[in-house]
Amino acid sequence: DELDLTDKNREAMFALPPEKKWQIYCSKKKEQEDPNKLATSWPDYYIDRINSMAAMQTLYAFDEEETEMKNKIVEDLKTALRTQPMRFVTRFIELDGLSCLLNFLKSMDYETSESRIHTSVIGCIKALMNNSQGRAHVLAHPESINIISQSLRTENIKTKIAVLEILGAVCLVPDGHKKVLQAMLHYQVYAAERTRFQSLLNELDRSMGRYRDEVNLKTAIMSFINAVLNAGAGEDNLEFRLHLRYEFLMLGIQPVIDKLRGHENATLDRHLDFFEMVRNEDDLELAKRFDLIHIDTKSASQMFELIKKRLKHTDAYPYLLSILQHCLQMPYKRNGGNFQQWQLLDRILQQIVLQDERGDDPDIAPLENFNVKNIIKMLVNENEVKQWRDQAEKFRKGEWILCACIGRNCSQFIHRASELGTTFPFADILCIAVLITEGHCQDSQTLFSFSCSHYTSLLELTEFISFPPPPPPPPGGPLALSSSHMSENLPPLPPPLPFSSCPPPPAPPPPPGGPPPPPGAPPFFSMGVPPPSTASFTTGPTLKKKSIPQPSHPLKSFNWAKLSEERIHGTIWNEIDDLKAFKVLDLEDFEKMFSAYQRHQVGVNSSIPFLLSVLSEKHNTDCFPSLLKYMQKEMGSTEDLYLSTRKVKELSVIDGRRAQNCVILLSKLKLSNEEIRQAILKMDEQEDLAKDMLEQLLKFVPEKSDTDLLEEHKHEIERMARADRFLFEMSRIDHYQQRLQALFFKKKFPERLAEAKPKVEAILLASKELIRSKRLRQLLEVVLAFGNYMNKGQRGSAYGFKVSSLNKIADTKSSIDRNITLLHYLIMIFEKNYPDILDIQSELQHLPEAAKV
């Protein structure tokens, strides 16, 4: 399991003799116990280093030593992912190492993207995908393939080849083919291409660099094109293969293929042959549908005659004529400015041809959210649908309030009303809470007589709590309310709603002594609009709005990748109802376990500070004397109790490990947040921030996810933990990361200047040596002579050549012995006729040192 072997290799391993098994075991055991590899035997080390590199890569763009160090780290990670046991890969996945690599790719500057580091990072992802768990993790990431495709924009040939190999392999994985097509569409926008695959065709047609690298890149591109055409939906779908191949043919791939034949490379020719073989087979199959041998898809007249012949005596022929008649009426401009209308027709036809019976599209390019079967339903007026939905939501809220009013439990009513977002006067809620707390809710008379001098809307309160109306007070009393008066203000229940999941509550019995409500009374929430019919909601698979219970305080966030409603249809999520689980789960215990607040004291009621702030007001103190006396008796004076509850909780929404490291860094700085802020804004005039501290601060730049979480709780800044408040305050500084990088560059500059001086001197000395070297001139003369001798026509009679052409000398091989190249022959010529040239190094002594710069 640690080696992630396939079933076949596992059987071969078990079949080995015991001595061989013991030898393998001892070898692995020795590697694991090697003290020199303890630091690098876990992925934590590599992830931290790569995160640090991502934050500071722009500062080392021209530093060769730093570049070599970074490249070695990434290369070591690539080797570890390929050779370490399975637990290393598992740990790398658990620590979100893939996101670390992808973030590095997204934040690269130009110099890094053209360096070997870029190639090594792509190699790490490739090594991760060679593992079954790693491959599944990469494919499950919502943006991984898109980000990988962005690396095609580099000029580094090795990086391009590695990216194309990854994309070609993903095409062969279940559900991977469509991800690749989506990635190429993403790359079209990223690289500002006119059309998809345009850059690939340009690379295929362009001549570049060394012959070997050029052939390898063109072979990788053709391999990828064949994988895109024949994998996924292309395995058994002729229409899809023709659709994609037309796209390549419109970009001019056929003349490019004819040109590539001139390279005479066996591997490249094999991919070209496969492309043309499948194309010929598909063209023949398409022609058979029309009882022909060949169809010229470049001839509009021939294709029109075939369609006309096929539909002439069918019911579809009038519609063909109608299409042609309307095409004649399409707007026409000589400069082609109206091509978008024709492009729209083309995409609609592509969608009709490609879309299967379930409405799924094997290609995402033509039109998104275009379902042929449901297109008529999509024409319903969206404004009308929105109006009915809003009206339905109002009725649903009204039904819940009526359900709550039927019960006699006051707390249940307030809880349900708060869930619906309904606001009530604070006096209502506090009065009800005190009545229940002090046991005064035994009869309705107490409810109406309690605190009548401080509460004026008793009739409204009675309607909310739905207690029976009180008996009439004595004549002349301040509350001369009759039963009939109450019954007139209690409307009847609304009719049952067709879309409600809650059964309508039974009608309450009429109040004693009062007449029943009139039969023609209007509904409780009537607004002059009839209730919507169910037909108004059949425009598509609209999901039922969920009524999720709300927590009483903020909770930790769960960083998942949420599916949009459009992607739920047809998946297992369409059959899952999480509302059932809420009836079983202990949500109070869950809130305690995953609260965003970090509790430092236990046993103090969370509502006490709230009640104290209310009771401190004069009129509330007079109104609720018994509650205030009880709290002062049990828990001390009001001021002491308020002070003891001010810092009960500490808010922390940042990852625990990151927050802990941030606190350690801040403790070393020994500066307040304001002092750090001023130092950054004033470019550290007082030299408060050391160079190494700035390097550490760059590791704790607030990310967008951190900023979003902290912004949600900015009103609770006083309760934030130290690390959270630091990140929040730093995020308020404009261009915080750029300021840090500039400050670090400023402090690093003298050191880098001292390192650059000897390198500049080496380049100057080497340049002078090159200009003065007679042996170099003689060498170039010999090469120029041989070149003009070998080349005829336009490539001959040259007066000079680019120095980079010297790299291609070894590519020209002898026709007698393939092991001998033009380079070998030149050496023999120099030894025989120009022995002085062999001592060219004596004239270029500083060149090796300058080449390292």
For residue 510, the one-letter residue type is P
Distances (CA, A) of 838 to 282, 601, 663, 737, 778: 60, 83, 63, 54, 11
Count of Cβ atoms closer than 10 Å to residue 806 Cβ: 13
Write down the CATH number for the domain with range 652-748.
1.20.58.630
Helix count and strand count (H, E) for the chain: 41, 2
Contact, 128 vs 89, CB < 8 A?
yes
What are the domain boundaries of the chain?
A: 300-379, 388-473+480-510, 581-650, 652-748, 773-851
- How many Å apart are CA 447 and CA 718, to the nearest integer? 40
| Beta-bridge partners for 720 | 651
Q: What pLDDT, on a 0 to 100 scale, did the predictor assign at position 139?
A: 93
Q: What pLDDT, on a 0 to 100 scale, did the predictor assign at position 845?
A: 87
- How many Å apart are CA 312 and CA 305, to the nearest integer? 10
Q: What pLDDT, on a 0 to 100 scale, did the predictor assign at position 2?
A: 52
- How many Å apart are CA 59 and CA 61, to the nearest integer? 6
- pTM for this entry: 0.46
Count of Cβ atoms closer than 10 Å to residue 219 Cβ: 21
The packing angle between helices 198-205 and 253-260, to 10°, is 30
Q: In the chain, which residues have pLDDT < 50?
A: 35, 38, 376, 379-380, 383, 405-414, 416-417, 419-540, 559, 598-624, 626-628, 630-631, 633-648
Contact, 214 vs 208, CB < 8 A?
yes
Nearest to 354 by CA among 340, 341, 342, 368: 368
Q: What is the dihedral of CA 47, 51, 54, 55, to 10 degrees?
A: -170
- How many Å apart are CA 396 and CA 590, to the nearest integer? 28
Secondary structure element (H or E) that encloses residue 599, with its range: strand 597-599
Q: What pLDDT, on a 0 to 100 scale, did the predictor assign at position 523?
A: 38
* Backbone φ and ψ of 624, nearest 5°: -125, 65
Q: What pLDDT, on a 0 to 100 scale, did the predictor assign at position 452?
A: 40
- How many Å apart are CA 361 and CA 351, to the nearest integer? 8
Q: Is 4 exposed, middle or buried (0-12, 13-18, 19+ CB in 10 A)?
A: middle
Q: What pLDDT, on a 0 to 100 scale, did the predictor assign at position 190?
A: 93
**Cα angle 751, 754, 758; round to 5:** 145
